[in-house]
Structure 1
């Protein structure tokens, strides 16, 4: 078992996970992961949005009727988020995907699992997001 993994109440292994993207899909994923006992580093670009989610547990912009519960940590510090996380879920718009991955490629680390939740095909080159990873 990794040093930072601990059993949760159901006996499953909880992990440090990152959710990149503060939209509807990222928020839904953060909610599910938090409810299942994982420590969620929930990265979003907008500092005001991160602060509002931190204070209220609600992403008013995208899911105003949903309360985020569990060990969820909204942040705008992507480098720290990637450093702390064993698994990274990328839920950013397709048009921002390549730039995000390319600009922060050196901050991903060996053994880290990266999962694309981004829908769509890149306009230039017609690549799926998994092909960009």
Structure 2
């Protein structure tokens, strides 16, 4: 069993390291040759995961062919807005019937496509077997071997069981769910709600507001999911409610940190100078357009969009949310 991990950000490196520590042959594709040299010299991913030593058994290279040749599972952890272009460049390195597990959270801008569609279109012509892994995860905590649970969305029952066994350890537990669309959407849309929660906390609105936001955010996620063919019940699980609670309350959440800074008066252009990607900023734009196209009511997403892209005052956005027409829950 060989696993090729495509993408060496904090999450990709963490997953690769976890698999290598389990004793599995794991190779990590690092896009930047200069980072590869630093990793060889320091034994750490100094750009994205500087606090943790890499397992001696983990191999890494900027040559995608070396990483991907002979792999049985391809774990794709590329930022969502770069997924199509990256896979297009390395498509010729995949076998005819690859097993692809996506661990990226986001929805493509302009097309409104979830990652499953982006990957299938990028690898068109191959007999793809697909799964999506998501859930309440901070890379730092999994790297520190703190107990973590995720869910694997996969339509093929036997394949799901195989991947579960490969990925699970005594501190990383993988559940399965045939509704891969719900799993991937939960992981993407919750980033918008994390920005909203950060804004509320930045405005010092307290715990009542945060609890209401999480609850109503879940309702929005479920509505859009249902409109896109997902099972609403999936959003009550790890990739929905679990991930939503984590990113709306945990200070390690990059999306929550974006919201906090917005609530404290910073402008988005200043915030985006951070090296680490906050997927929710672009996801807000793509989901906003998608909701309008599908006719799905998403008032929280609407206001976050206006704050991010129309420079709306966060306090005014909250007032508009609270002043809407009253209706049943």
Asked whether the two chains share a fold, i.e. TM above 0.5, the reply is yes
Match of 1:63 among 49, 54, 57: 49
Does 2:16 match 1:34? no
Deviation (angstroms), 1:70? 4.2
The match for 1:4 is: none
User: Would the aligned equivalents of 1:54 and 1:73 in 2 still touch at CA under 8 Å?
Assistant: no
Please tell me whether the aligned partners of residues 60 and 67 of structure 2 are also in contact (alpha carbons under 8 angstroms): no
Is the radius of gyration larger for structure 1 or structure 2? Answer: 2
Deviations 1:43-96 (A, max 9, x none): 111111112212332011111111111421110011222223111111111111
Q: How many residues align?
A: 119
Structure 1 runs of 4+ aligned residues shifted over 6 Å read none
Q: Secondary structure at the match of 2:52?
A: strand
Tell me if the contact between 2:7 and 2:28 (Cα under 8 Å) persists in the aligned partners. Answer: yes
Q: Which is bigger in relative contact order (C-alpha 8 A, separation at least 6)?
A: 1
TM-align CA RMSD: 1.3
Distance (whole Å) between structure 1 residues aligned to residue 65 and residue 55 of structure 2: 24
Contact 2:2/2:71 (8 A) holds in 1: yes
2:74 counterpart SS class: strand
The Cα of 1:98 is off from its aligned counterpart by 0.3
Which structure has greater strand proportion?
Answer: 1
- 1:85 aligns to what SS in structure 2? coil
Indicate conservation of the 8 Å contact 1:53/1:59, yes or no. yes
**Partner residue in 2 for 1:53:** 39
1:1-133 alignment, distance < 5 Å: 15-133=1-119
- Normalising by structure 1, report the TM-score: 0.83
Distance 1:122 1:86 in 2: 27
Asked if structure 2 preserves the Cα contact closer than 8 Å seen for 1:17 and 1:85, the reply is yes
Structure 2 gap segments, 5+ residues each: 120-329
CA 1:91–1:55 in structure 2 vs 1: closer, same or farther (change >3 Å)? same
Determine which structure has the larger helix proportion and give its number. 2
In the alignment, structure 1 segments of 5+ residues that lack a partner are 1-14
Q: Could you report, residue by residue, the CA deviation over 1:99-121 in whole angstroms, capped at 9, with x for unpaired residues?
A: 11122222100343111111100
Distance of 1:57 and 1:39 partners within structure 2? 18
